[in-house]
Amino acid sequence: MAVQSGIYKGVSAADRMAERRSRLLDATLSVWADPEQRTTMTGVCATAGLTERYFYESFKNLDEAQSAVLEAVATEIEQVAQDAAQAAGTDPATRIRAAIRAFLELLVADPRKGRVAIIEAGTMPSLRGRRTDLLRHFAHLASVEAHERAGLQRREREADLAGLLFIGGMAELVTAWLDGVLETTPDEIVETASRSFLGLYG
């Protein structure tokens, strides 16, 4: 009866599938972020402790799993930055510092996320276009933050151009930091990036 109804040890079939998908996503993130490891479905399954049968239960191929990871990381970055800015109040400098700090704290807590979203996705033809779209999306969010919420005055076109400059610069800065070719601290990045943002929109 329990097996027929999909309940096993008190856990439904849907919950077990969701748990396996979560394990596969985390494994994809780990394998993909490791520069010493080639990203393969076999490697992902081994890291997750699951067979290929369960991989295909959630994803049709490796590209789809990597795309899901990229989308999840981008969503998390957007959410933590917006939540931090919202909690910071209305002062433009305080808001942008809070948003950038929250973003960097996310990467410090789990450097895998920055590596796959900012660095590795750009090396994959199947994801390069989506990474570009996401960077433009974040550039638009930056212009919205400056123009509508922080009250910094810029015409819409100027605001979008400044947003692209800011996000593009941040991507390169974080790439150098994550690659270890730039000796700096999160605090220094927060201050430099905040001044850059306020200078572009001030």
DSSP 56-67: HHH-SSHHHHHH
User: What's the confidence (pLDDT) of residue 70?
Assistant: 98
What are the per-10-residue average pLDDT scores of the chain (202 residues)? 52 90 98 95 97 96 98 98 95 93 97 95 94 95 78 68 93 94 95 93 76
User: What's the confidence (pLDDT) of residue 96?
Assistant: 93
- Look up the pTM and report it: 0.89
User: What's the confidence (pLDDT) of residue 2?
Assistant: 42
As to burial, measured by CB atoms within 10 angstroms (0-12 exposed, 13-18 middle, 19+ buried), residue 140 is middle
Nearest Cα to 127, choosing from 176, 78, 77, 61? 61
**Which residues, 6+ apart, have CB-to-CB distance to 17 below 8 Å?**
57, 58
User: What's the confidence (pLDDT) of residue 23?
Assistant: 98
User: What's the confidence (pLDDT) of residue 9?
Assistant: 61
